Amino acid sequence: MARKFMKGCEAIAEAAVRSGCRFFAGYPITPQNEIPEYFARRLPEVGGVFVQGESEVASINMVYGAAQTGTRAMTSSSSCGISLKSEGISFCASARIPMVYCNVQRGGPGIGAIQPAQQDYFQATRASGNGGFRMLVFAPATVQEAVDMTYEAFDYAQRDRNPVLILADGVLGTIMEPVELPPMRPEEEVKALKEALSDWTLTGHRAEEKALILPGGWAGQEDRCRRNANMYETWGKDVQVEEYETEDAEVILTAYGICGRIARSAVRLLRKEGMKAGLIRPKTVSPYPYESFDRLNYGKVKAILSVEMSIPAQMVQDVELAVKDRCRIRTCLRSGGEIMSREDVLKAARELV
């Protein structure tokens, strides 16, 4: 397959189109503007619809409406814009509406800085909206991973009838890398995927017929919550993680997204210095790869370093749950749009030892 040089945001949008996405609604915000810009050009070429909503709130509700027809639908934003969409995302989870969205994180809290950050981890994995629902959350570290994860995300969303999140950041969204794009789904397949949902979608009815999608599904709200909880328990098979040089490691670095990429290069250099370093990089941060930490040999592993572009640290709470006091845990942190450097990670790892 031919490789193409693409910016992260544009590659995410193209992967969505190739997976069958035919509706996008969004609102401009840095650093994800290239996603809606790309969709505005690309969707009309495949018979899709692009809408620039008057706000984030309007955009997510347009996606809610389009997805109710069985159309593969998507939105994107950055940090504070995702906060504005959170109610609509919760509506989609309640009504069991499959949709995909992407958060290209910026600094915060509040409006914050337009530079890259990883300060939305709790929002992504703990409280993407009210009501305690959960989602599969993918955290790519390369543009190629962003392409592959976005392409697959629509299938996961349709399988579970649940929102799926691509958690990126301003570095990944704006860098350019060569990628191999997945195949374009034929229109016949896109149509078949939509028709497969015809038992619940709203696609027009005669006057004497009625169709209604209620919050909570067709059963009571508590019953729906129980069914959702049972579905979440099946997601262990969907966990994705990279374990690098962990077999004999005495120090483990752990990080996701762009920090995972930086930490991996730091492990290579630390190994050259003689330090037995390894890496656990979650590719899904929800569910979190707790079992990867259980597989570590704590007779050898003396410490774990959580690398994040967030102050205070957020992912470290999942690391603590995974480690269960079996070794020391420390952090290496940047925030507010200050990008993590390999030198930061190397320094923290050496000090840890």
pLDDT digits (tens, 9 = 90+) for 82-110: 999 999 999 999 989 999 999 999 998 99
In a shared domain, residues 211 and 346: no
The residue-averaged pLDDT of 325-338 equals 95
Select from 185, 215, 236 the last residue of a domain.
236
In a shared domain, residues 148 and 176: yes
In a shared domain, residues 189 and 338: no
In a shared domain, residues 153 and 245: no
In a shared domain, residues 167 and 226: yes
CA end-to-end distance (rounded Å), the chain: 44
Query: 302: domain CATH number?
Result: 3.40.50.920
pLDDT tens, 21-72? 999 999 999 999 999 999 999 999 999 999 999 999 999 999 999 999 999 9
pTM confidence score: 0.95
Cα separation, 70 vs 80, in Å, equals 28
In a shared domain, residues 58 and 155: yes
Q: Can you give the C-alpha Rg of the chain in angstroms?
A: 21
Q: Can you give the residue range of the structural domain that contains 281?
A: 241-352
User: Is residue 206 very low, low, confident or very high in pLDDT (cuts 50, 70, 90)?
Assistant: low
The sign of the dihedral angle between the CA atoms of 19, 22, 28, 34 is positive
Select from 210, 236, 262 the last residue of a domain.
236
